[in-house]
């Protein structure tokens, strides 16, 4: 392998690896995506050089090994980019946020309006079973309590504690109705 060919190969490989390192360590997801594309183009250039190294087995092996290493690094970077792009996990509403939600529900006069406020408030939020039980207290009628609990069930983070919600209902028939709707 000639010295200039080695220098070219080393420069391309180091350039690709440094690009990948910068993307994984410090850049936002969009920039990382752009850098992944650039690194893939550099990999393609390295792979295109492989046939040129056919005259020397050791050069071919070295070039192929460099390309494989770059490919593995790109795979790691792809996983990193996927993690950067994943939406943050929704957090459980705070006690002050729950108080605001309950206050908004309490300001409404009619059950349908109260449920509409709750539907809007539940969007993109997570609740604990205890918070669901607290919200159910904002409703006067057991049918509305069951409807509110049913609405919040998919948003509950501790569904293993869901059994505590049944305590907010007085009648067995309401508890059975809630069980039927949520389990």
- What is the structure's pLDDT at 126? 95
CA dihedral of residues 14, 20, 25, 29 (deg, nearest 10): 160
Query: How many domains would you assign to the chain?
Result: 2
Question: What residue numbers bound the domain in which 78 lies?
Answer: 3-85
Is 131 within the bounds of a domain? yes
Is 113 within the bounds of a domain? yes
- What is the structure's pLDDT at 56? 73
Is 90 within the bounds of a domain? no
Is 48 within the bounds of a domain? yes
Which residues, given as ranges, of the chain have pLDDT below 70? 1-32, 34-35, 48-49, 76, 83, 85-86, 88-89
- What is the structure's pLDDT at 125? 93
| Exposure string over 79-95, b if 16+ CB within 10 A, otherwise e | ebbeebeeeeeeeebee
Alpha helices in 26-162 (DSSP H): 29-49, 57-85, 95-107, 111-122, 129-136, 142-152
| Exposure string over 113-126, b if 16+ CB within 10 A, otherwise e | ebbebbeebbeebb
Query: Distance between CA 119 and CA 130 in Å, rounded?
Result: 18
167 in the same domain as 141? yes
- Residue pLDDT, tens place only, 43-78: 777 776 677 777 777 777 777 777 777 777 777 677
- What is the structure's pLDDT at 174? 96
> 55 to each of 8, 40, 71, how far by Cα in Å?
17, 26, 24
| Full-model pTM | 0.55
């Amino acid at each position: 392998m000639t010295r200039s060919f080695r220098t070219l190969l080393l420069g391309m490989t180091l350039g690709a690896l440094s690009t990948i390192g910068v993307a994984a360590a410090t850049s936002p997801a969009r920039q990382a995506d752009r850098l992944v594309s650039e690194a893939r183009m550099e990999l393609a250039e390295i792979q295109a050089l492989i046939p040129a190294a056919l005259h020397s087995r050791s050069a071919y092996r070295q070039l192929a090994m460099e390309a494989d290493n770059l490919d593995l690094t790109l795979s790691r970077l792809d996983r990193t980019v996927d993690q950067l792009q994943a939406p943050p996990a929704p957090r459980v509403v705070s006690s002050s946020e729950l108080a605001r939600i309950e206050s908004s529900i309490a300001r409404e006069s009619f059950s349908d309006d109260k449920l509409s406020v709750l539907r809007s408030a539940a969007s993109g939020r997570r609740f604990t079973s205890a918070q669901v039980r607290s919200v159910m207290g904002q409703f006067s009628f057991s049918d509305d309590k069951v409807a509110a609990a049913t609405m919040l069930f998919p948003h509950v983070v501790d569904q293993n504690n869901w059994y505590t919600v049944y305590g907010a209902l007085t009648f067995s028939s309401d508890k059975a109705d809630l069980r039927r709707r949520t389990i």
